[in-house]
Structure 1
Amino acid sequence: MGKAGYISAEMKRIFKNRYVLLSVCIGILVPLVYAMIMLSPKWGPYDNTDNLPVAVVNNDQGAISDGERINIGEILIASLKENKLLGWDFVSSEEAKNGMDNMKYYMTIEVPEDFSEKALTVLDDEPIKPELKYTQNEGLHFMAAQVTNKAVETLKTQLSAQITATYVENVVSQLKEVANGFTEAADGAKQINDGTGQLKDGSEQILDSLNEKSSDIGRLVDGAKQVEDGNRIMKESLVSKQGDITRLANGAQELNIGTGTLLSNLQNKSSDIARLADGAKQVSDGTSQLVGVLNEKSSDINRLSNGASQLADGASELQSGATELLEGARQAKDGSAQLKDGLNKKILPGSEQLAAGVQQAQVGVNETIESMQNLQVALEQLPNSVDGLKDNVLYKMIMGQLNENLKTVPQKQKDFQRLVNGANELRDGLKNDFTSGVTTLDNGLGQLVEGQQQLQNGASKLADGSKEVAIGNKTVAVGWKELQTNVAKLHDGTKQVKDGNAAVESGWNDLTAGATQLHDGSSQIRDGNKTVESGWQELSAGATKLYDGASQVSEGNQTVKKGWVTLTDGVSQVDGGLGQLSDGSEELYEGLEGGAKRTSSIDPEEENIAMFAEPVVLDGEVINSFPFYRDSNAPYILTLALYVGVLIMSFAVQYRKPVTLPPSATAWFTGKIAKLSMLATIQALMISLYTLFVLKLDVQSSISFVLFSIMVSLTFLMIVLFLVGLAGNIGRFLALAFVVLQLSTTGSALPVDMLPEELRNLSIFLPFTYSINSYRNIITLGNTSNMWENISILLIYFALFAVLSFLVFMFKYRSLRERADFNKEEISESIS
């Protein structure tokens, strides 16, 4: 089935079932019946106000004016009997009270006993306004209360006119007494004229005195201006320097904080400096001991070298003669024994002590170097915590000397390592090679004694050994001297380190003492600058007060000067005014005398008194008036009827269910829109045509009225279709709530401009607002531009809810399609 076939099926569904057709017809007729009931009556709310019962009680006792009795209450009752504005009921106070208690009267109006008496006090010293009392029962009906309020205002106006007329009569009756007063006033004006001449003479004397002192006032003003300028310059100078004084105080504070930090850092590092000095002293003492040991053993090394030389000579001599061999062997045997004994007791322990001492000295030197390196790191980081230390001369000198000493450290470490290696080699050579040689020599000499046959071999070995011993001893002697030289240099370096560290410690102590004095001095500077700042502020405040006082004096003198000039001008004017007063008093005398004559001749007519009582008559016109009261409610009634008709139609016509499974969501939506739009259009045509031709409602344009009704009906259809299509009965409830929301917020009962602000803001977003405004322009106002503006907004509502409705149909169609596919699968499975 295509889209056209589905639309045709939707149309035919209405006519297939007579109950559906009957429901549709009733739904279409509901808005028409509503319009017939609400728009048919032609009476208005003010057409039958004379049926509202209002009690009138007259308790006025009247009053006497110039011998004539006046009763304003009776005049009011007479005028009300001729007035059909309300249903007046003239009763007593008791009857009025009973009627109000029994809810018979909407209002009671009472004229008090002293009403006329108070009305005649208008010319008394303490006039009393008369009061017209009324009691209103607003609870019977709000609109009746508004009508009675208007009636009370009308009565007030009438009574005011009547009282004014009474006032005029009283005033006119007293004008004769006024004429006598004019005569007396004329005599007084004559006396004023005489006194004015005397005042004129006195004012001339005052004017001369003021002119004479004018120059002194000018000099006083100039002097005060100079004082003000001087004080202003002093104030500006003090205020301009306030920032410098504050910066000086802040700088002193920062200086004090910096010196405190420097002092704290110096005091914290004093113990490290002392330990550095002690370590350097220990290094120097250790190298001194090492030098002493080396010098002490120098003679033994020399004897060892000399003995080796002698041994070589003896070996030569041994080879030179066999005769002396035995004797030489014995001597050699003794010499070797002594050599072995000296080696074991002196040379070997001395070499071991030398190696151990050199190693200990190396450890001390390394510790000294490490301490110097740590000192270098600490001194390099010290400027980070002590401001200005990096540029200090003493600090630079200490760092320079320390860096120079540390530069030679690697070379000195290498030299000292060679010294250590030489001492170890000396110890090992003496302990191993030399000891074995001496033992061999001793054994050879023994064998030499034992046998002549081995003499030549022993002599050769002895000669070779003695040569090696001589060479070794010479090497030992040379190494020992180098060791002495290097250790002496090491001792000199450690002594310089000791002396330098002692100087650093002494300089550090001096630096700490100087930093302490610097911190104390900065504290005094800080305190002094605070005192200066406080005093400067007080001085600036005093200068400001002095300047303000001088300004006030200057301004006061300027005021005095202006006042003096004004006073002079005023006296001049007074002098001239007195002249005019003299002339005017004479004219006043003449005028009062003539006024007395004219006042006595006044005799007003009744028309004149009426003019006084009610001098203004309203002359106005009403444009765009309503022929009948129903015309004012027609925009609201037509809007509500069309919306309710579309909502009721949703109960008779299916807004959600399709006739059959539609081929697409678009076909389903188009079919529903075609059917529902036809019904909504029929509703709009029936209401608008009935209103035009049966009720004969007078409109600006009949075609615009019919077309706009169709458009409003279609717009409301889209709103209701979206809500019902989305949520079913809940959507109908929301549609009904949407109507209730708009009943009092869209200009029906009250104009939108008279609503509270929050309701005015809400009415902008409600479609009834624009429907009612457009109907009002089409029926009464004829404002085309305003009408098209409202129509444009309604078109936006139409398009918006049409799109939303289409989206709802697309969503529902997808769900409908899934259920249909599922049912087909179940059927196919059951068949199989």
Structure 2
Amino acid sequence: MLKNELKSLWSNKFLVIVMIAIIAIPTIYTTIFLGSMWDPYGEVDHLPVAIVNNDKAVDYDGKTLNVGKELIENLRTNDSLDFNFVDADQAQAGLKNGTYYMVITIPEDFSYNASTLMDENPKKMELKYDTNPGTNYIASKMSETAVSKIRTSVAEKVTKQYTETVFDQLGTIGDGFDDAVDATDKMSDGIDKLSDGNSKIKKNLNKLASSSLTFKDGAETLNVGLKTYTDGVSTVNSGASQLKTGISTLANGTSTLANGATKLKNGSATLNKGVNTYTNGVGQVYSGTKQLVANNTTLNNGVETLSSGVKTLKSGSNSILTGLQTMSTTLGNSLTEENTKKLNTLYGGITTVNNGLQQLNTEVQKIDVSQVNTLVGSVKTSMTSVGTDATKAGTKLAKVSDSMSTDIEAAITAFASSDAFKSLSPADQGKVLDELKSSFGPSKFPTTAENLANVGTDLQNVGKTLTGLQSSLESADLSALSSVGTLKEKVQTLATGGNTVLTNCDSVIKQQQTGLQTVKDALDREGKTADKMGLIQGMKAVSAGLDQVDTGINSKSGLKAGVKTYTGAVETLHKGVTTLNSNSKALKEGSGQLSSGLSTLTAKIPTLTSGVTKLNQGATKLADGTNKLVANNSKLLSGVSQLSDGATKISDGSGKLADASGTLGKGLTTLNDGNTKLNDALKDGSQEIKDKKTTNKTYKMFASPVKAVKTEATSVDNNGNAMAAYMMGVGLWVACIAFTIMYPLLKPAGKVKNSVSWFLSKYAVGVTIAAAMAAFMVYMLKWVLGFNPASFGKTLGMAMLAAIAFMSMFYFFNLIMGKVGSFILLVFMVLQLGGSAGTYPLELSGSFYHKIHPFMPFTYSVDAFRSTIASGVSLATPIKVFVGIFVVFSILTYFVFAFKTKHAINEEGEYVEGTVLE
């Protein structure tokens, strides 16, 4: 049956193409998907990152520290990422639109913070970076790894800088040790001198102790005599104190008197000068206020005149405004649609007249002497009609011309006769009239008025001529046919003149309408600035301004009320100043008398003061002397007692000092020993520091003392090789789904002899396709993407074993459940994608995935492929699992075929569809 199955498959070209496509499915899955991420970590130098350097250099220990600039220079030669050096605005814009995956900003205090390590509060160097995970999360994480490396690099450089500084300071410390050695030598000399001096002090202290006892006896005899002396001194002191008090009081009084008299004298002179200045000023103020009072009436009258003038001007401006509004209304009434229609009718009548003249000329030119009698009647009628129309049209045009000029002149004359206009000054009147005439006078449209008048006169003359001709025809002697030639010439002239009149009339009418509209626009125009306002709007603005001026003059707090208040205050001030001015003379005389008397008093005081001062000085000296004697009485008595007690204490203290001096001598000996040891140690330390030689390697060791040594238990070339372990299982699983859907899993290719042959014929095709698609997938990964597993043979074998195991599962589920079985296994694949730990370690997933992990076939395919790709763990477990899956589901599938053989195969060995398990 296997031969028949293969023959049937080969004969179905469509099914052969489907099988080839199914074999290619795992290859398509793996090569396309893995190709997009084959070596992303090897391409990170294409990952764009923006660098913004705002750092400012600082001075550190006499050197320029510019960490930001050094970092930029290093990054320019660093190809770990695609570094772009831009400004802050460009960087942020690029981060938002996805141009850059990260923005690294070096702040302006970067170098400054690096120099604060030795400060009391050192500041950390902040390297700021911004990412936009929404653009690409993985790219942002890759960029963050680069930031960590940059941070480490900066830390090493800064530490190296500090290390160099510290070692420089150690050299300075060595010099300090030398200075300390010199100091200890000097200390040793000083200690020797202290020891010699202490020996002498001890010897003399012993002498002092023995001499103090003799001194004590003499002090006791002195104490008795001093008691009598102190009693007498106290009596003398009492009298001297009373004398001093009286004389001191007298002296104080004369001093105060002298000071007061001098101040009075100086003050009276200042007062006298001030009074003169004051009286002169009062006189000036009096003259000024008198003049102000005299001007009060003129000022009040001027304000009244100003108020009256403003009101008159306001009334005049209102009248002008009314006149301008009337003129605008009149012009508006003249420019009505009805008047326009009349002008159009007039133009139509003139056109009719001209048409009649042209017709008359045509008829006259056709006159034949032989037909004169016949035509005379019609010519009379035509000439009568045309003459009448021409005369009427001429009269109307003349009236229009006269009316237009007359109306404008009448409006200007009426305005010049108004009270408002007359209230203006002659100069203002002249300006207003010139403005009106220049805007609306005949000079604005002289051609229009003149043309209207000329056209009217021409039409009237035409009418008269035609009437004369008509009369001539009536009285003519028809025998005088020789006048026909003259008639033709005159009619021809009339026809030519009619065309001219018609053309001029059209131009004149249009000029009149345009001119009147221009005048009305000049009156009614609206604007925000003075040069764009019309006359009516401008006059309204003038009227409003006059209202504000009038309010400012006549309101309660206006100019008129203020002037009234001012003049009242001036009169009150003038009255007060008049009173002051009348008293100025008496004030000056009194001030002079006061100054003269005080000068006499001041001249006598020095003699008095001198005598009292001498007396006071003598009393003071006497009192001071007796006070000192009394004050010292107790001290003398106490001193004698203290001399006696002190002699005893001196004797005792001298003995103790002598003992202490012996102790001090021992301490000085110990100090000298310690100083010698310190001297030796400082010499050794100084020499050791000088012997230490530092190099650039020493500084680098301090900056980066730890070196990480990486050892890989297994080796994976790149991300694509690592992800292949996951994606190969997915591709094989999807291909098995496609096979079980597209291939007839149960229908035999011929008669069924037994269940075994039927099972093997069908099952062998599935197993073969599974092995073929696994092999094709592995080889294509190698050839297309450069797939390089540690053991290619084991990888190929595990791929074929996994594919056969997957196929056995799908065959069984599709046999018993049909397409539902494929759907269930498709859902099961989704669970495997999460539970097999194919992308991230299982420890990073939730507890649910931990529980399902051991039961997922993908778990073992991923482990197996990882082992063969990286030469890792043993393949024993995955092989056992896949062999177990294949054996179990193959047996189950055979049972299905055996069951079908009994219930779905008839006696002829043919398969009957629609039976059990169908």
Task: Please report the TM-score for the alignment, with normalisation by the length of structure 2.
Answer: 0.42
Task: Please report the TM-score for the alignment, with normalisation by the length of structure 1.
Answer: 0.46
